[in-house]
Amino acid sequence: MNFKFVVLCALALLTGSSVYGQDNVIDEVVWVVGDEAILKSEVEEARLSALYEGRKFDRDPYCVIPEEIAVQKLYLHQAALDSITVSENEVIQRVDYMTNMYINNIGSREKMEEYFNKTSSQIRETLRDNAREGLTVQKMQQKLVGDIKITPAEVRRYFQNLPPDSIPYIPTQVEVQIITQQPKIPLEEIEDVKRRLRDYTDQVNSGKTPFSVLARLYSEDKGSAVNGGEMPFYGRGQLDPAFSNVAFNLQDPAKVSKIVESEFGFHIIQLIEKRGDRIKVRHILLKPRIPDTALRSSESRLDSIANDIRNNKFTFEDGASMLSQDKDTRNNHGLLPNPNDNTSKFEMQDLPPEIAKVVDKMKVGEISDAFTMIPQKTGKEECVIVKLKSRIDGHKAAITEDYQSLKNIVVEKRREEILDKWIREKQKHTYVRIDDKWKNCTFKYPGWIKD
């Protein structure tokens, strides 16, 4: 079960399809896993989304999809038992990333809202729960798998034992360097945000308006706003450090915190409950608006930097070290790190979508014009220029040139074996009921149907 399946489910929910199923029945429970039901509508929506994404099924999708949902429920159940949680920061980052992906694919925020027939806020609310589930599944899988150690000898043995027609194809990979500039937010915009938050604080402290009402009306964290700004219980390390420091120092649930600046914007916080080393709070988030003039100014500055590099006034590496505001790449000559394998090589689909769209048309050594992107990590607009440092065209793997890729294949194979064994064992101890009409399947994991 990977995050792409969760994205497909989110896409299905966003489209809000009218579902009647195979027998013109509006909806029904087709599987039960533990105490969780799987509805026919869930299966149908995921199937339609998979078709939208161009997925090909090697078996009946009405067998494949409910089994995939059932496996996800096994992971989520175990995650609850093991107290696996994801931070609000991680959820927000993933929602920002997914929203940005939809905007890029569809063309604009307005077109996205028209396509899904929902406001951006409604879209983000739907994505939030799916992002939390997907991240939870990933963390649960990582805990089950642990740190897999593979020796060079194992990689060589795996490669040597492959038949010639099974040698893996390595897709095109690129290395990319970036220089970023964060648009300057006018002081008056920041002061206006703080003024509004101070006004909300005064309304709460005077008893005029409850904090939860103001959060529903005004908070720009739409996922928590619908719950009156209320967040789940979190440990100190799961929250933005600045937010966490203020939240954990709150003592009186009747009081409102001072204004807190985090990487997401500005907040005020109200304590709900402390439970050991975990805390539940509600908050209101406001984000200062970045005016178009600030974005254009940053892009203009970056275009000037790019021209200076092209005219050999200094190198891209020097420009990244001296001028870039991206702390993750500034000290590495602007080289973008791949968080999936700790290398600097990316397959095109693994790059941030805005960068991939630009790099796809570039030649090695070429520097792009400035453009705007929203990084998954911060969710804040920033301006970027990129240099295509290298491109390795797709080819059949060779042990000398592609050791890391082959090692990743072996690690993934070992990972799949561990998770496969866990799923089969978990099935034995989990209550499962499948509607008789949905049993006539060749399942990947036969243990769903018990004798």
Tell me whether the CATH fold assigned to 172-185+291-393 matches the one assigned to 187-286.
Answer: yes
The domain defined by 3-148+410-448 folds into: Triger factor/SurA peptide-binding fold (1.10.4030)
| CA separation, residue 214 to residues 186, 218, 224, 229 (Å) | 25, 6, 12, 9
pLDDT at position 20: 36
Average pLDDT, the chain: 87
pLDDT band for position 120 (50/70/90)? Answer: confident
3-state secondary structure of 346: strand
All structural domains of the chain with their residue ranges: 3-148+410-448, 172-185+291-393, 187-286
What burial class does residue 293 get, using C-beta atoms within 10 Å of its C-beta: 0-12 exposed, 13-18 middle, 19+ buried? exposed
Q: What is the pLDDT of residues 227-254, one digit of tens each?
A: 899 988 888 888 889 999 999 999 999 8
| CA separation, residue 376 to residues 89, 180, 197, 264, 269 (Å) | 11, 15, 26, 12, 24
**HSE of 121 in the Cβ direction (CA atoms, 13 Å)?**
10
What burial class does residue 252 get, using C-beta atoms within 10 Å of its C-beta: 0-12 exposed, 13-18 middle, 19+ buried? exposed
Q: In this structure, are residues 251 and 272 in contact, taking their beta carbons and an 8 Å threshold?
A: no
CATH classification (class only), 187-286: alpha beta
pLDDT at position 19: 36
Q: In this structure, are residues 45 and 39 in contact, taking their beta carbons and an 8 Å threshold?
A: no
pLDDT at position 14: 57
Contacts 24+ apart (CB under 8 A), 443-450: 443/63, 443/67, 444/64, 444/67, 445/67, 445/71, 448/67, 448/70
Q: In this structure, are residues 447 and 424 in contact, taking their beta carbons and an 8 Å threshold?
A: yes
The DSSP code sequence of 130-194 is HHHHHHHHHHHHHHHH------HHHHHHHHHTS-GGGSPEE--EEEEEEEEEPPPPPHHHHHHHH
Average pLDDT over residues 325-345: 86
Give residues with Cβ within 8 angstroms of 23, minimum separation 6. Answer: none
pTM: 0.58
**In this structure, what token pair is assigned to residue 66?**
């409910």
Average pLDDT over residues 129-136: 88
Q: Which residue has the higher pLDDT, 148 or 52?
A: 148
Q: In this structure, are residues 138 and 102 in contact, taking their beta carbons and an 8 Å threshold?
A: no
CATH code of the domain occupying 172-185+291-393: 3.10.50.40
Q: What is the pLDDT of residues 359-413, one digit of tens each?
A: 998 999 999 999 998 876 666 789 999 999 999 999 998 888 888 888 988 999 9
Q: In this structure, are residues 73 and 34 in contact, taking their beta carbons and an 8 Å threshold?
A: yes
Q: In this structure, are residues 333 and 317 in contact, taking their beta carbons and an 8 Å threshold?
A: yes
Separation CA 123–CA 109 (nearest Å):
11
pLDDT at position 101: 73
Q: In this structure, are residues 76 and 136 in contact, taking their beta carbons and an 8 Å threshold?
A: yes
The lowest-confidence range among 78-87, 93-102, 152-161, 255-264 is: 93-102
Average pLDDT over residues 83-106: 79
